[in-house]
Amino acid sequence: MSDPAGRGLETRSLTVRYGGLVANSEVSISVRPGQVVGLIGPNGAGKTTFVDAVTGFTRCEGEILLDGVRIDALAPHLRRGSGLSRTWQSGELFGNLSVAENLLAAARKSGWATVVRDLFGRRRAGAGRDVVDSALAVVGLEDVADTLARDLTLGQQKLVGVARALAGGCEVLLLDEPAAGLDSMESQAFAARVRSIAEGNGSGQGPGILLIDHDMSLVLGVCDVVNVLEFGKLIFSGTPAEARTDPTVVAAYLGAPVEASHA
Ligand SMILES: Nc1ncnc2c1ncn2[C@@H]1O[C@H](COP(=O)(O)OP(=O)(O)OP(=O)(O)O)[C@@H](O)[C@H]1O
Ligand SMILES: [Mg+2]
């Protein structure tokens, strides 16, 4: 792979303390362009804390680099501006707004002037709308741009959440339990879409994606690399095949040996 070390996201000994609780302890993870990287672990292991720290919503020690440049001193909106985007675990859309309006509200490169122009004037022609349309195209939902968010299926809503994070482009996308609530068929379809986003939908390399989820088959099936957190510590980092048989992972998270369904 032509994937120079240093591109994408890298954390070095990222540590987060909430009073006496060490919610992340020296966590070093990288997410390279085009990769899907899993982050799993039991409830309270520190997965959301990791995303909060990386995106600037909670204080941390250690280093955070994007494309080799330290970003850990930047405010959250500047990290977003430099290409780091995320979804939220409680990733609700605004049900009474259309899908396009939900995305416009978050689009990275749309200044207020563009948003206002698009909402009240040239609804389909503005630059902001272009950003929306291309983000929806990435998740395969061009047809629902003008549908109210509340009228979408849950699977579509999840994908719109991803599109909202993608709007305006990003280098690295952090997805915090984006498939929660989907049934297994919807999860598989969702996973396939995540994979294809990382692969640039066939047009070359897409963003690096960090995927947090409790659904092991989803994570092991779609990720290139899996990281396992326990009590804030990274206890495993390796391929899904390695995770399935690693005694530490099996004991700490999988609970029982997982059948070797990998090729
Ligand atoms: N803002 C906060 N202040 C104090 N403690 C916090 C805060 N946020 C999280 N914690 C604690 O940090 C630990 C890690 O929480 P976190 O939400 O990161 O876990 P998680 O792995 O995302 O869990 P889940 O799978 O339930 O989403 C937990 O013990 C949690 O109670
Ligand atoms: Mg969480």
Quick check: is 233 in a domain? yes
DSSP character at residue 254: I
Quick check: is 88 in a domain? no
Contacts of 207 (CB under 8 A, 6+ apart): 33, 34, 166, 170, 171, 172, 173, 197, 198
Smallest CA-to-CA distance from 193 within 222, 151, 165 is with 222
* Total domain count, the chain: 2
Q: Examine the domain organization and report whether 175 and 78 are in the same domain.
A: yes
Contacts by 130-133 with C-beta closer than 8 Å and gap 24+? Answer: 131/103, 131/104, 131/107, 131/167, 131/168, 132/100, 132/103, 132/104, 132/107, 132/167
Nearest residue CA, atom 7 of ligand 1?
Answer: 18
Measured in Å, residue 85 CA sits from the centre of ligand 2 at 16
Neighbours of 155 (CB within 10 A): 18
Q: Examine the domain organization and report whether 204 and 230 are in the same domain.
A: yes
Q: Examine the domain organization and report whether 176 and 226 are in the same domain.
A: yes
Where a domain ends, among 105, 140, 167?
Answer: 167
Q: Examine the domain organization and report whether 136 and 184 are in the same domain.
A: no
Contact present, 112 and 119 (Cβ < 8 Å): no
Q: Examine the domain organization and report whether 19 and 100 are in the same domain.
A: no
Q: Examine the domain organization and report whether 47 and 22 are in the same domain.
A: yes
User: Whose structure tokens read 């899993």?
Assistant: 38
Where a domain ends, among 133, 167, 201?
Answer: 167
Quick check: is 183 in a domain? yes
pLDDT at site 16: 98
Q: Examine the domain organization and report whether 176 and 262 are in the same domain.
A: yes
DSSP character at residue 252: I
pLDDT band of 124, cuts 50, 70, 90 = very low
Measured in Å, residue 21 CA sits from the centre of ligand 1 at 10
pLDDT tens string 126-141: 557 888 988 999 899 9
Instruction: Report the distance separating Cα 103 and Cα 252, nearest Å.
Output: 38
Q: Examine the domain organization and report whether 79 and 3 are in the same domain.
A: yes
Cα dihedral 123/125/130/132 (nearest 10): 10
Which three-class secondary structure state does DSSP give residue 225? strand
Smallest CA-to-CA distance from 161 within 101, 88, 107, 105 is with 88
Q: Examine the domain organization and report whether 128 and 246 are in the same domain.
A: no
pLDDT tens string 72-94: 999 999 999 999 999 988 878 99
pLDDT at site 254: 65
- Please state the pTM of the whole predicted model: 0.88
24 lines ligand 1 (CB under 6 A): no
Instruction: Report the distance separating Cα 240 and Cα 225, nearest Å.
Output: 6
Mean pLDDT of the chain: 86
Where a domain ends, among 167, 183, 209?
Answer: 167
Q: Examine the domain organization and report whether 187 and 74 are in the same domain.
A: yes
Contact present, 45 and 235 (Cβ < 8 Å): no
Quick check: is 123 in a domain? yes
Q: Examine the domain organization and report whether 180 and 160 are in the same domain.
A: no
Q: What is the CATH number of the domain that holds 226?
A: 3.40.50.300
Instruction: Report the distance separating Cα 150 and Cα 154, nearest Å.
Output: 9
Spell out a b/e string for 199-233, using b for 16 or more CB atoms within 10 Å of the CB, else e. eeeeeebbbbbbbbbebbebbbbbbbbbbbbbebe
pLDDT at site 108: 54
Residue 33 has pLDDT above 50, yes or no: yes
Q: Examine the domain organization and report whether 158 and 231 are in the same domain.
A: no
Residue 148 has pLDDT above 60, yes or no: yes
Ligand 1 test: best mutation among 15, 16, 17, 21, most atoms within 8 Å of CB? 21
Domain that holds residue 194: 1-83+170-263
Largest CA distance in the chain: 60
More confident residue, 113 or 192: 192
pLDDT band of 114, cuts 50, 70, 90 = very low
47 lines ligand 1 (CB under 6 A): yes
pLDDT at site 87: 92
